[in-house]
Amino acid sequence: MTPAILLLQDGTIFNGYAAGKIGTTTGEICFNTGMTGYQEVFTDPSYYKQIVVMTNIFIGNYGVKKSETESNKMQIAGLVCKNWMPNYSRSMADGNVQEYFENEQMVGIQGVDTRAIVRHIRNAGVMNCIISSEISDVEELKKRLAAEPSMAGRELSSEVSTKESYFFGEEKSAIKVAVLDLGVKKNILRCMADRGMYLKVFPAKTKLDEMMKFNPDGYFISNGPGDPASMPYAIATVKDILATNKPLFGICLGHQLLSEACGISTYKMHNGHRGLNHPVINLQTGKCEITSQNHGFAVKEEEAKQNANVEVTHLNLNDNTIEGIKVKNKKAFSVQYHPESSPGPHDSRYLFDDFLEMIKLN
Amino acid sequence: MPKDTSIKSVLIIGSGPIIIGQACEFDYSGSQAARSLREEGIEVVLINSNPATIMTDPIVADKVYLLPLNTESIEQILKENKIDAVLPTMGGQTALNLCKEADEIGLWEQYNVKLIGVDIKAIDKAEDREKFRLWMIEMGIPVCPAHIANSFLEGKEFAQQIGFPLVLRPSFTLGGTGGGIVFKKEDLDEALNRALTASPMHEVLVEKAVLGWKEYELELLRDNNNNVAIICTVENFDPMGVHTGDSITVAPAMTLSDTAFQLMRNTAISMMRNLGNFAGGCNVQFAMNPETEEIIVVEINPRVSRSSALASKATGYPIAKIAAKLAIGYNLDELKNQITKTTSAFFEPALDYVIVKIPRWNFDKFKGANDTLGFQMKSVGEVMAIGRSFPEAIQKACQSLENDAIGLGYYGKSLMKSEEILESIKTPKWDRIFRIKDALMAGATVSTIHKSTMIDKWFLYQIQSIVDLEKHLMKFDKLSEISKEEMTKAKQMGFSDLQIAKFVGNKCTEDEVYEYRKSLGITRIFKIVDTCAAEFESKTNYFYSTFG
């Protein structure tokens, strides 16, 4: 086994062994507490430039399967895990994690005490880190790590978004939705297409007039990586969409952008929410949902509650952070979590039905 | 909805004597429930016929009745006390059955006692096998092809239709008593008679056997507001065909993709929401075809159970305690996570370790008993181990069995030839896990063993990794030749110092191994079971030891 090093920005070092390709990678370290769905996490564009610590004790146990991906390639910057399992048992799988990582040129570290790392991040907050299974000189690693920009203020959507617009779903559908792709997960598109929406997916920097040519019945603002505050172009697009009075639905980054468009600012969280077990209460129905989450930024609670144009619809039961809003006198709503899940519970899929209903009634 | 303030006194029904198939887990849940209710200022009256329990200690309940578990006793209690509600979901099948009996003669109505946690309709739907099957069909949830038989002739007729192998499951019995798999036509008559006799209503389900399918259990909580959370997912090491109580089980599920897991989760939730009036802990069992990943529902238990006691210890989430609060009206989002004390009780625990449970049998005390494992539970207890890898957890569990095992292997060392071992592991017996290890030591491949046992290959690869390391360690003549890296790996894979001492040419003692590894700086560390994989700070001290 090839030794590997994980070095954090604050100088903390964890020694382990290589997982995946032999190499070096940098990114912001974050942790995900989900116990299933590692491949969906690896391919989720919202994890772009992030090194993910998976707290689940095994990674790779059920192999990899082409259909269980959220985009066309791996998006994480690197992986940190406890037990790396190239041997898998799933009959329906297409291959093992080691080959998958090698094919996708992905670097990871295994055999480290992931719990100790999580406790460290929980206290110290998220920070940049570097993994290497080829360089053992810590000074050299520190030099390379210093070159990695901070996630705060970073615009990344235009890097992961589609370069060309494309269509998704059944062309004959009566309902058309324009999707602003800021790093959209495939399952969001599937959830809408399954409900009879025909989608045209646009690159991140597309302006409203371009999207209007598709003559959509509604707009969708996707999830994605990076700092929402650094995306004035997308905030402007959302404002323009709001002015059309057409139905609008936003998820995760889309939720943060809708908030920004309404004058609510966002902030970088201490260590974010990433996992499949986050409890949310729907204030409109009083019902609770277990949600799939992946965000390092959030909208400011006080500003959201005080904003006269916005109603807070969902709250996190653990820390009371804002999980959903709707814009008063508009047909626009958004959630911070991931109703499309994949991975994660399907409790919140009703939001796609709500969106469909909103379009139909419009 | 907040607490129902009209409930001032609650009767908890215990589970009676400890027998095979129903042990101290209900003492655990009953005591938790009693404490949980008294915390709320509710007077707790308890009935149990078994004085050798914690729950009958005077400090657990306000009033304890050591009486036979029958309707006469219930009536006596209701006469002597003002009871507002009865909680029947803590005492296993025994308590549910008694509650149903008392309902049939109108006792609850007569004394104006509210049934909390579950209603009779829900009990019937879940526990009566035919009603359960019809309910599933109505909901469009796949179940195993089966027929209910009320007579010997009916049973025989259905058996012909369904074909062999088949499973006989008597209705309303404990731990699968009287049930079993029938492989051949010749064995049917005897098995059918036994099954019919075991059922209090002379009713048995004749079911197609899905041998070799993987078996899973979900532990859930539901409140009056229809909120449902999955507290734990348990995977059986032994495929379908061995009673869960006799299976080696693992948590969290080890070989499930998110797609496969969400299908089970969705199915379990829709069942719970459709069950009727129910607030508390519940367990749903599934079988999954490993080739196609299609699932069928095996059963649902609308009460806390053996597995929820295990799930509580495995995750740190006190299922019975919370279930009792749900029964008196609280909703999950109104309660706090009992471990972190700051986050919500409505969440699904995330584990950053693995749990292995191994049942403990006492066949040596039951001379002449058939030690083949099947649908009727035969174990008398169990051990649970926590590790940071499957090999660590399973070896720790083996070391805790209180037999002579000092790890996986070196126990009842097999003198069988490898062909004999391969033949013997086809039949599930108490020592199968040790024999699988022997077979791998003898050079049998994972594929061969998988074919004989249908045990998921992932588990077998894990045991193979123990075998590989053991063989490697055996090459050393002297302890000092083992590097720090190798020793760390051995400890992380659960090898005890004594086990290592045995491998290294029998030239050292357990103490020497301990001193040597200590000199290398390899010492035990302690981690917390905190329900949340370290995401939040834990206020409760529940530790396990490990090596990293």
Could you tell me the sign of the dihedral formed by the alpha carbons of B446, B451, B452, B454, in that order? positive
How far is it, in rounded angstroms, from Cα A216 to Cα A359?
10
CATH number (domain holding residue B186): 3.30.1490.20
pLDDT at B175: 62
- Residue B509 located in a structural domain: yes
Rounded to a whole number of angstroms, the CA Rg of chain A reads 20
Tracing tokens 């109703």 back to the chain, one arrives at A339
Strand order of the β-sheet with B166-170 is B146-149, B204-208, B166-170, B180-182
Task: Let me know whether B418 and B306 are in one domain.
Answer: no
Q: Which of B120, B124, B102, B101 lies closest to B111, judged by CA?
A: B102
Over range A157-179, report the average pLDDT: 97
Distance from CA of A345 to the nearest CA of B (A): 6
* Chain B interface, best mutation among A36, A70, A274, A323, by max B CB count within 10 A: A36
How far is it, in rounded angstroms, from Cα A127 to Cα A12?
11
Task: Let me know whether B157 and B283 are in one domain.
Answer: no
B261–A83: do the CB atoms touch at under 8 Å? no
Query: Which positions of A are annotated as active-site residues?
Result: 252, 338, 340
Task: Let me know whether B157 and B191 are in one domain.
Answer: yes
Q: Which domain holds residue B339?
A: 214-351
pLDDT at B1: 63
B354–A279: do the CB atoms touch at under 8 Å? no
How far is it, in rounded angstroms, from Cα A188 to Cα B109?
52
Tracing tokens 């396990």 back to the chain, one arrives at B544
How far is it, in rounded angstroms, from Cα B19 to Cα B52?
12
B349–A113: do the CB atoms touch at under 8 Å? no
pLDDT at B419: 83
- Contacting residues of A for B265, CB less than 8 Å apart: 345-346
How high is the mean pLDDT in each 10-residue block of chain B (548 residues)?
Answer: 89 91 86 96 96 90 96 97 96 92 96 94 86 94 91 91 88 75 90 90 89 94 96 96 93 96 97 92 96 94 91 95 96 92 94 96 87 88 96 96 81 69 90 92 94 96 96 91 95 94 82 96 96 91 93
Boundary-marking domain end, from B159, B175, B208? B208
User: Which residue does chain B place closest to A276, by CA atoms?
Assistant: B348
A94 touches chain B (CB under 8 A): no
B354 touches chain A (CB under 8 A): yes
Tokens of B479: 């302890």
- Contacting residues of B for A36, CB less than 8 Å apart: 253, 256-258, 261-262
- Contacting residues of A for B348, CB less than 8 Å apart: 276-277, 290, 345
Task: Let me know whether B315 and B253 are in one domain.
Answer: yes
Task: Let me know whether B193 and B282 are in one domain.
Answer: no
CATH number (domain holding residue B21): 3.40.50.20
pLDDT at B414: 59
How far is it, in rounded angstroms, from Cα A21 to Cα A26?
14
A342 touches chain B (CB under 8 A): yes
B346–A279: do the CB atoms touch at under 8 Å? yes
User: Which residue does chain A place closest to B354, by CA atoms?
Assistant: A57
Q: What angle do CA B420, B424, B428 make, to 5 degrees?
A: 170
DSSP B211: T
| Cβ proximity of A284 and A330 under 8 Å | no
Task: Let me know whether B108 and B200 are in one domain.
Answer: no
Q: What angle do CA B212, B216, B222 make, to 5 degrees?
A: 155
A55–B350: do the CB atoms touch at under 8 Å? yes
Task: Considering only the beta carbons, identify the residue of A35, A55, A278 that sits closest to B534.
Answer: A55
- Residue B540 located in a structural domain: no
* Residues 99-128 (A) with a CB less than 8 A from some CB of B: 113-115, 118-119, 122
How far is it, in rounded angstroms, from Cα A126 to Cα A28?
7
Over range A249-270, report the average pLDDT: 98
Boundary-marking domain end, from B95, B116, B137? B116
β-pairing, A266-282 vs B114-115, is unpaired
- Contacting residues of B for A346, CB less than 8 Å apart: 262, 265-266
Task: Let me know whether B199 and B232 are in one domain.
Answer: no
pLDDT at position A10 over 60: yes
- Residue B543 located in a structural domain: no
pLDDT at B176: 67
A279–B291: do the CB atoms touch at under 8 Å? no
A57–B259: do the CB atoms touch at under 8 Å? no
- Residue B197 located in a structural domain: yes
- Contacting residues of A for B527, CB less than 8 Å apart: 115
- Contacting residues of B for A89, CB less than 8 Å apart: 255, 290, 456-459, 461
pLDDT at B145: 86
* Chain B interface, best mutation among A55, A288, A292, by max B CB count within 10 A: A288
Task: Considering only the beta carbons, identify the residue of B255, B256, B352 that sits closest to A55.
Answer: B352
- Residue B294 located in a structural domain: yes
- SS3 annotation, A93-137: CCECHHHHHHHCCCEEEECCCHHHHHHHHHHHCCEEEEEECCCCC
In the structure, how many helices (H) and strands (E) does chain B have? 19, 18
| Cβ proximity of A13 and A138 under 8 Å | yes
Burial of A215 (0-12, 13-18, 19+ CB in 10 A): exposed
Rounded to a whole number of angstroms, the CA Rg of chain B reads 24
How far is it, in rounded angstroms, from Cα A230 to Cα A204?
13
- Contacting residues of B for A281, CB less than 8 Å apart: 333
Helix (H, G, I), strand (E, B) or coil at B275: coil
Task: Let me know whether B91 and B194 are in one domain.
Answer: no
Residues 6+ apart with CB under 8 A from A70: A40, A43, A44, A45, A185, A186, A187, A342
DSSP A335: E
B349 touches chain A (CB under 8 A): yes
Distance from CA of B51 to the nearest CA of A (A): 40
A287–B252: do the CB atoms touch at under 8 Å? no
Task: Let me know whether B336 and B241 are in one domain.
Answer: yes
Q: State ipTM.
A: 0.96
User: Which residue does chain B place closest to A317, by CA atoms?
Assistant: B344
pLDDT at B375: 80
* Residues 492-511 (B) with a CB less than 8 A from some CB of A: none
Give residue B275's identity as a one-letter amino acid code. Answer: L
How far is it, in rounded angstroms, from Cα A41 to Cα A343?
7
CATH number (domain holding residue B266): 3.30.470.20
A275–B350: do the CB atoms touch at under 8 Å? yes
Q: Cis peptide before B165, with omega less than 30 degrees from 0? A: yes
- Residue B169 located in a structural domain: yes
- Residue B315 located in a structural domain: yes
Burial of B514 (0-12, 13-18, 19+ CB in 10 A): middle
Strand order of the β-sheet with B249-251 is B295-301, B280-288, B214-222, B228-236, B249-251, B354-360, B381-387
- Residue B379 located in a structural domain: no
How far is it, in rounded angstroms, from Cα B33 to Cα B320?
6
Could you give the number of structural domains in chain B? 4
pLDDT tier at A323, thresholds 50, 70, 90: very high
Residues 6+ apart with CB under 8 A from A41: A32, A34, A47, A52, A54, A76, A294, A343
CATH number (domain holding residue B522): 1.10.1030.10
Task: Considering only the beta carbons, identify the residue of B227, B258, B333 that sits closest to A36.
Answer: B258
B368 vs A273 pLDDT, higher one: A273
Q: Which of B415, B463, B322, B430 lies closest to B35, judged by CA?
A: B322
User: Which residue does chain A place closest to B341, by CA atoms?
Assistant: A318
| Cβ proximity of A18 and A6 under 8 Å | no
Task: Let me know whether B244 and B344 are in one domain.
Answer: yes
- Beta-strand ranges (E) seen in A146-287 are 166-168, 175-180, 197-202, 218-221, 248-251, 266-282
A61 touches chain B (CB under 8 A): yes
pLDDT at A79: 98
pLDDT at B410: 60
DSSP A149: P
Q: A250-284 burial, b for 16+ CB within 10 Å, e for fewer?
A: bbbbbbbbbbbbbebebbbeebbbbbbbbbbbbee
The pLDDT tens digits for A82-140 are 999 999 999 999 999 999 999 999 999 999 999 999 999 999 999 999 999 999 999 99
- A13, HSE (Cβ side, Cα atoms, 13 Å): 11
Task: Let me know whether B180 and B98 are in one domain.
Answer: no
Task: Let me know whether B153 and B193 are in one domain.
Answer: yes
Boundary-marking domain end, from B320, B351, B382? B351
- Contacting residues of B for A40, CB less than 8 Å apart: 258
- Percentages helix, strand, coil for chain A (3-state, rounded to 5) are 25, 30, 40
Residues 6+ apart with CB under 8 A from A254: A180, A182, A220, A221, A222, A223, A224, A334
Could you tell me the sign of the dihedral formed by the alpha carbons of B287, B293, B294, B300, in that order? positive
pLDDT at B412: 52
Over range A296-315, report the average pLDDT: 97
Other Cβ atoms closer than 10 A to B28: 23
